[in-house]
Structure 1
């Protein structure tokens, strides 16, 4: 019996995973796709963005959200039952796409495909690691080596890798294909340097492909036939010797803002708060008075983007909610005050 292929799309916060998935849906080529979307935080922003595309290749009932934490930590409780329900359908999907949280380790997820109820019916076709070229060029995934050397001289017990650096390296180590995304934000010389550096972090034979806005032929991603679950032990990670993996190094919370009369003060406040508090990621929807469409806000480090995507639906509450993600120790009260003080109720 043929196994249903599953593609795992991993990548750090804001790499463009959801944009890539929307592109895959819009160019499915007749495949019936099912999506499992995981988010670090309690608001399903990515799932809501994908559902908004309304494509027949992936109807809303085939988009499953796991928004209760990191998928690599909830495999038994959430992921396995979800997979079983998909596989037990009278007409199962042709291909399953799994978008992990930007803070997830792909390896525990791949190992779940060794589970007896899964391994005979599904296989990991490939692990795709998406990299934000602009963020990588800015050094957001690695230590400043000179500063690190000075710190280690002062304290020889200092760990080499930061939580972000370890996570980034683990996602690369598990990849069958690396997409260097957002290349439109980086010049050609910088891209060449990034590719050279990445080549030292990935396994031999793993390709690096440049993309902008997640635009790539789906045939390149779907159909790798890697059978990753059968060779996962050959892909080492920083967390192989750990019985449990958790995300105590990171935290998230929700900022509720109501309806805004003008989003510009919020965007300005968000720019200042991101810099002041070293916020990694902000995403969410904003309700603007007099505007029928919801405003999508996507912030990755200091880079903040926003656009109106679709009208608010009749059954939706028109309100503004942002998910804020950063390393442990965020000053929630100060961030909420900074953002809330700038809102103007309609």
Structure 2
């Protein structure tokens, strides 16, 4: 009872595959009693709903807590501390707690919270896992070469400040004990190795880098790292170290309700075109497909979308098609809603 409960923080940019990786972990828990804290961004609990569907003896539904009041790194005192206290009071106590942060979260403020006296005696950060959408990065969505970023900014007179997306991406890597290059099957082997080398050069310390497909990675690689990250904060630099805290004023999140889809392919084409025409970073949600007994999960980052039928609609469940949109601040919401088919 005196041993600290280990906690793994799973961070990563929008659509990198954090939830998919955690679903894989739940299916291969290896006898561990797990608990989850999910930081949903937006008022449609997509990630929470998907993970609730994996609930079993390894991680029962009551050991899954959703924090939907904003980014966990901004609401640590109000949301995280009470949630983790509730999990530790469970009988039996969880063997390991896994935290899925929102795609816009900075991990270091959350790691700092584990140095609070009321948490430090009970918990330790076993490891910080940064999940990277390898295909998106190789396509040039996020540049982790500081010199190249500087050249791009110098060549563009309209840029007078750092791109916050790059900062989020870089901060997640800089805090990591393990970098997971997900969606590696969508990347040529030579490009994947180049990305691996670029990330390794950008990090101030030795960090494991593993390539995965659909988040499939050995649970013994994810858990049992024993990093004690709360004791190693100086080795995890952040763009926001001097700021105290950060906000997400550069982004806005809203929900768009759309009619039932008659043709899923046409819907995906429409969503892809909308992201190209507007400052949309991510779209994710559940959709009713006319004539189908199962609901369809839609996930998209940039113009690349995935769709799957995740489960049947429940008896008496309201069949709604609702999409969470995360976009750059100032996006024309009415235009986006119209483009999505609302």
The two structures share one fold, judged by TM-score above 0.5: yes
Contact 2:38-2:47 at 8 Å conserved across structures: yes
Contact 2:109-2:245 at 8 Å conserved across structures: no
What residue is the counterpart of 1:344 in the other structure? none
User: Which of 148, 151, 154 is the aligned partner of 2:153?
Assistant: 148
**Structure 2 Cα separation of the partners of residues 260 and 195 of structure 1:** 39
Contact 2:270-2:340 at 8 Å conserved across structures: yes
**Structure 2 Cα separation of the partners of residues 56 and 314 of structure 1:** 24
Structure 2: segments with no counterpart, 5+ residues: none
Superposition CA RMSD, Å? 1.6
Superposed, 1:154-165 pairs within 5 Å as: 154=157, 158-159=160-161, 161-165=162-166
Contact 1:43-1:67 at 8 Å conserved across structures: no
Q: What's the CA shift for 1:221?
A: 1.0
What residue is the counterpart of 1:75 in the other structure? 76
Contact 2:204-2:235 at 8 Å conserved across structures: no
Q: What's the CA shift for 1:7?
A: 0.1
Q: What's the CA shift for 1:214?
A: 0.6
Contact 1:261-1:288 at 8 Å conserved across structures: yes
Contact 1:126-1:227 at 8 Å conserved across structures: yes
Contact 1:38-1:65 at 8 Å conserved across structures: yes
Q: What's the CA shift for 1:217?
A: 0.5
**Structure 2 Cα separation of the partners of residues 127 and 315 of structure 1:** 40
1:207 aligns with 2:212: no
Q: What's the CA shift for 1:232?
A: 1.4
Q: For residues 149-182 of structure 1, what are the alpha-carbon distances to aligned partners after superposition, in whole Å with 9 as ceiling and x for unaligned?
A: 212xx47x933x3100011111011001111111
**Structure 1 Cα separation of the partners of residues 262 and 302 of structure 2:** 25
**Structure 1 Cα separation of the partners of residues 195 and 336 of structure 2:** 33
The 4+ residue runs of structure 1 with deviation greater than 2 A are 53-56, 142-149, 258-266
Q: For residues 90-120 of structure 1, what are the alpha-carbon distances to aligned partners after superposition, in whole Å with 9 as ceiling and x for unaligned?
A: 3211100000001000011111112222111
Contact 1:19-1:214 at 8 Å conserved across structures: yes
Q: 1:262 to 1:220 in 2, by over 3 A?
A: same
Contact 2:200-2:206 at 8 Å conserved across structures: no
Secondary structure of 1:191's aligned partner: helix
**Structure 2 Cα separation of the partners of residues 332 and 92 of structure 1:** 45
What residue is the counterpart of 2:188 in the other structure? 187
Structure 1: segments with no counterpart, 5+ residues: 342-346
Contact 1:42-1:69 at 8 Å conserved across structures: no
Contact 2:181-2:212 at 8 Å conserved across structures: yes
Superposed, 1:306-325 pairs within 5 Å as: 306-325=307-326
Q: For residues 58-81 of structure 1, what are the alpha-carbon distances to aligned partners after superposition, in whole Å with 9 as ceiling and x for unaligned?
A: 121111111221110110110111
Question: How many equivalent pairs are there?
Answer: 337
Contact 2:205-2:235 at 8 Å conserved across structures: no
